[in-house]
Amino acid sequence: MKSVKGTTLLELMAVLGVLGVLLATAVPYISGMNQSQLADRLYRELENDLRYARNYSVTNGVSVMLEPRSGWDGGWRILGDNGSGTLNEELRVTNLESKGNISSDDFSKSTPIVFSARGRANKSGEVKIDVAGCRGTRVRTLFINRIGQIILKGENVCK
């Protein structure tokens, strides 16, 4: 009797079935990982820009403002005093084209965050970063107090 090399249709169907189950469970997890990385990136970008604005104000002895562009989800810009007494020198712009949700009841385009030449904030308040579909505790709230400290106030479970 001759030996036949190869696979049967039944073996091929079994392998494809197992592969389908593995992919069906892995794809949503990978999507959640991307959203979690986005949440981490948004948090780091905002925190770094807040620290940059405060450090610039102290280092150069001028007032510096961080304001949302067209709502927080569109990004923000940092403006400094170029010596004229007005905050019109654009120091840094952060554009967000992501699906993250950044919100604040305390700061807006009409009530931006302003750091004085001594690094003090014009008022205290919070900014919340929430990305739909993230995993773990990545809904973060940054708190800026009157003396200019930027504090991670809370990490909550993703929705």
Alpha helices in the chain (DSSP H): 9-60
* Residue-wise pLDDT tens digits, 81-97: 887 878 889 999 998 87
| pLDDT of amino acid 104 | 93
pLDDT of residue 112: 94
Domain that holds residue 121: 9-156
Within a domain: residue 96? yes
Q: What CA–CA distance (Å, rounded) separates 127 from 35? A: 19
4 within a domain of the structure (yes/no): no
The answer to whether position 1 is within a domain reads: no
pTM for the model: 0.78
What is the SS3 assignment for 70?
coil
CA–CA distance, 30 with 36 (Å, rounded to integer): 10
Sheet of strand 75-81: strand arrangement: 87-95, 75-81, 64-68, 113-115
> In the chain, how many domains are there?
1
In a domain, 130, yes or no: yes
Q: Rounded to whole angstroms, how far apart are CA atoms 145 and 150?
A: 7
Q: Check pLDDT > 90 for residue 116.
A: yes
Task: With a cut of 70, say whether residue 36 has pLDDT above it.
Answer: yes
Judge whether 16 lies within some domain. yes
Closest among 159, 128, 116 to 43, alpha carbons compared: 128
142, part of any domain:
yes
More confident position, 69 or 28: 69
Q: Is residue 88 part of a domain?
A: yes
3 within a domain of the structure (yes/no): no
Residue recorded with tokens 């079935």: 17
pLDDT given at position 138: 81
Kindly report the CATH number assigned to the domain that includes residue 148: 3.55.40.10
**pLDDT per residue as tens digits for the range 128-155:** 998 877 777 788 999 999 999 999 988 8
Supply the mean pLDDT for the chain. Answer: 87
